[in-house]
Amino acid sequence: MAYDEGLATRIQNVLASRLDWPEKDVRRARVSGARQHGLRRARRRPDVRIAAEEADATLAEPGARPFSLTGRPMKGWLLVDPDGHAEDEDLRRWVERGLAYASSLPPK
């Protein structure tokens, strides 16, 4: 899937608005397409890491679908199709979910 610079910028803007989320923490945890080496690989369908127990309920939301690299869905990961993050507020909600999950992880 091709890199989407517009989506990367939108995700960066959401992350930049979170003063309580230090940049070093963003580098240690993937949050809605944010990867250890930045947003170079942002796609039209960002991946979001959430608590595995929230996956079933979250997958019922518009645009959400299972994330799979091998044909087998990964627990606690999902992709968000463009219709699920078309509005900035929709994208913010998904990024906030990823941030909430990453915040629950122990420091590395």
Task: Kindly give the confidence (pLDDT) of every residue in the chain, 108 residues in length, as a single tens digit, with 9 standing for 90 and above.
Answer: 456 778 878 888 888 777 666 655 554 445 555 433 334 444 567 788 888 898 889 999 999 989 887 888 888 888 888 888 889 999 999 888 888 888 787 766
Task: Give me the CATH number covering residue 41.
Answer: 3.90.1150
CA distance 83 to 91: 10
Q: Which of 99, 107, 106, 103 is nearest to 31 (CA)?
A: 99
> What total number of domains does the chain contain?
1
Range of the structural domain that residue 86 is part of: 5-104
What pTM, to 2 d.p., does this model score?
0.75
